[in-house]
Amino acid sequence: MSKLKQLYQQLIIDHSQKPRNFGRLETFSHHCEGHNPLCGDDINLFLLVDEENLIRDIKFEGQGCSISQASASMLSERVKGCSIDQALKLFRQFQGMILGELDPDKDTHDLGKTAVFGGVKEYPSRIKCAILAWHALKGALEKEVEEISTE
Amino acid sequence: MLLKEKAGLDVQAIRAQFPVLQKFLSDEMPLIYLDNAATTQKPQQVIDRIKRFYEEECATVRRGVYSLSEKATAQYEAARKKVADFLGAESREIVFSKGCTEAINLVAQSYGKSVLESGDTVLISAMEHHANLVPWQLICAEKGADLRVIPIDQDGELVKEEFYDLLELKPKILAITHISNVLGTVNPIKLLIDAAHRVGAKVLVDAAQSAPHQPLDLKDLNPDFLVISGHKLYGPTGIGVLYGRYEILAEMPPYQAGGDMIESVSFEKTTFTKPPHRFEAGTPPVAGALGLAEAIDFIKAIGLDKIQTYEAALLDYATTRLSQIPELQIHGQANEKASLISFTLDHIHPHDIGTILDQEVGVAIRAGHHCAQPLMKLLGVPATARASFAFYNTFAEIDKLAQGIEQVRTIFNHV
């Protein structure tokens, strides 16, 4: 598969055109806005975490390039039902993959379908697009910030 | 006869003088550079000029008493004269800066700061680059002045009635772009300058996008300030030009302070030199100035009239080709337009377009907000893709751009 085809796999195109869990949560416990000034990507992430620290529900609103929106959509599917610790572990794995430190084909990971973004590491200018939603997730769960930027 | 022949340009011979244009991104994919509104490529003679300075002539200017420095000084001042002649100005009206952005900041922080008072108005347009917006925002906030914006219409042209209405506020400064870096709109700059002068405003023209594409005669246009960028004019980065009418420059306080801008310094008081050196604190970008002067020679040898004719033909052709692509919308349909096209493609984000064009057909375009976020908001898009042409571009390269856009549509299942 060419580098470009790896980046624009149909799974990514599909999620960018039909994002899952798109919208706002009426009731939420955690929230973070993510901005990528380079592309002008915006992700507004809402999470409902229960007493057992499980992510019960997740939704996002946003606009931007296909990579940023598909990444948010697939993240939302992947982390729904996860514990906060599991979700933060996924963040570290995703970040490792994007930076080329984790090879999704060889190393063990729990990234599931989100491993499809492995090809983004070939495109330094697009890494910020792919990881934006994940930074918003981390920001929301650690409750440190209400707003992050990948600048 | 083909338009390109009518323009009298031997494009292949011109291309041969640009080393980067000989570059291949892969075995079969030559670089197609269509981001000329961001920066232009450099001809060999400009590169050689800079190299020669560092190899044979390097010294600081206006300081040394040795011959190497005296020669460097003479060349630096000769470069200033060349820029002055290029614009139809006097040498003492030409200040070298590190770019347009710094030149505008200089005017805002020096001239703006000394004349603006609470309640005054500064006028800009809705199509300004951040560089001709934010410096005015800052100084207006500091002085309690109002920053007012001339609106644009659907085609990307200034709304003249609103401009005349705003002039009734008797603005002290009109800061306006000659050509929009996003829409390509060529503003009727002489008309705007004359009208602003009639109400007593001083006018700064951002000529970053116009100087590389059409002749400018400041004796005719009569602006108070005009800024140009070296690297958009086939010269090096790190050099720009502020033209200022001498009587105004002479009254302006320094912008930055340091060496080479003083007459005498004591711990109690410093007196400053006359313009233009008053505004060139520190060691200036000497190699940059020499490179820019060489770029001006290069452009003059080709002829800006010919460049303008050829680029207009490129624009016509590109507009026709791109208009045939389904779902493609061109932003900016002004009557008079420079050789660039901003476009969007249905719901496909410009950054995706940019990546795919680069990878599939080797075409480099700009994608983003083009440092004009308020304008993006007006257009109702987060970003646009922009192809901007120079006289070394060819009709075949535009075909490749169109072909690449079709491939984008295929990847996104739009066919």
Q: Terminal CA-to-CA distance of chain B, rounded, Å?
A: 36
Res. B1 pLDDT band, cuts 50 70 90: very low
Test the B interface: residue of A10, A66, A69 with most B CBs within 10 Å:
A66
Contact B376 A40 (CB under 8 A): yes
Q: Could you give the 3-state DSSP secondary structure of residue B186? A: strand
Instruction: State the ipTM, two decimals.
Output: 0.87
Res. A90 pLDDT band, cuts 50 70 90: very high
H or E stretch at B305: helix B304-323
Can you tell me which residue has the tokens 């720009």?
Answer: B240
Query: CB–CB of B366/B286 below 8 Å?
Result: no
Give the span between the Cα atoms of B185 and B157, in whole angstroms: 7
DSSP 8-state symbol, B339? S
> Mean pLDDT lowest for which of B51-60, B364-373, B399-408?
B364-373
Closest Cα of chain B to A121: distance in Å? 13
Q: What is the pLDDT of residues B215-273, one digit of tens each?
A: 999 999 999 999 999 999 999 999 999 999 999 999 999 999 988 888 888 888 888 99
* Per-residue pLDDT, A7: 87
Taking CA–CA distances from A69, the nearest residue in chain B reads B349
* Per-residue pLDDT, A25: 95
- Both structure tokens of B81: 């004269």
Contact A4 B412 (CB under 8 A): no
Q: What is the pLDDT of residues B328-337, one digit of tens each?
A: 999 999 999 9
A66-79 vs A10-17: helix crossing angle, rounded to 10: 90
**Across B88-101, average pLDDT:** 98
Q: Please, what is the average pLDDT of chain B?
A: 95
* Per-residue pLDDT, B27: 81
Give the span between the Cα atoms of A68 and A66, in whole angstroms: 6
pTM, to two decimals: 0.93
Give the span between the Cα atoms of B286 and A39, in whole angstroms: 36
* Per-residue pLDDT, A20: 97
Rg (CA), chain B: 22
Strands (E), B109-265: 121-125, 146-150, 173-177, 202-206, 225-229, 240-244, 262-265
* Per-residue pLDDT, B4: 46
* Per-residue pLDDT, A40: 77
Contact B412 A7 (CB under 8 A): no
Chain A residues in contact with B377 by the CB 8 A cut-off are: none
DSSP 8-state symbol, B254? P
Q: Could you give the 3-state DSSP secondary structure of residue A141? A: helix
What are φ and ψ of residue B326, in 5° steps? -60, 145
Q: Reply yes or no on whether the pLDDT at B3 is more than 80.
A: no
Size of interface A-B (CB pairs under 8 A): 45
Closest among B329, B352, B376 to B180, alpha carbons compared:
B376
Strands (E), chain A: 30-36, 41-49, 55-63, 147-149
Closest among A28, A33, A53 to A44, alpha carbons compared:
A33
- Residue in B349, B359, B411 nearest the CB of A64: B349
* Per-residue pLDDT, B376: 87
Would you call B140 a catalytic residue per the annotation?
no
Closest among B204, B223, B199, B179 to B124, alpha carbons compared:
B204
Contact B412 A64 (CB under 8 A): no
Closest among B133, B128, B137 to B378, alpha carbons compared:
B128
Query: CB–CB of B235/B245 below 8 Å?
Result: no
Q: Reply yes or no on whether the pLDDT at B199 is more than 60.
A: yes
Q: Reply yes or no on whether the pLDDT at B90 is more than 50.
A: yes
Contact B368 A40 (CB under 8 A): yes
Would you call B360 an interface residue with chain A, using a CB distance cutoff of 8 Å?
yes
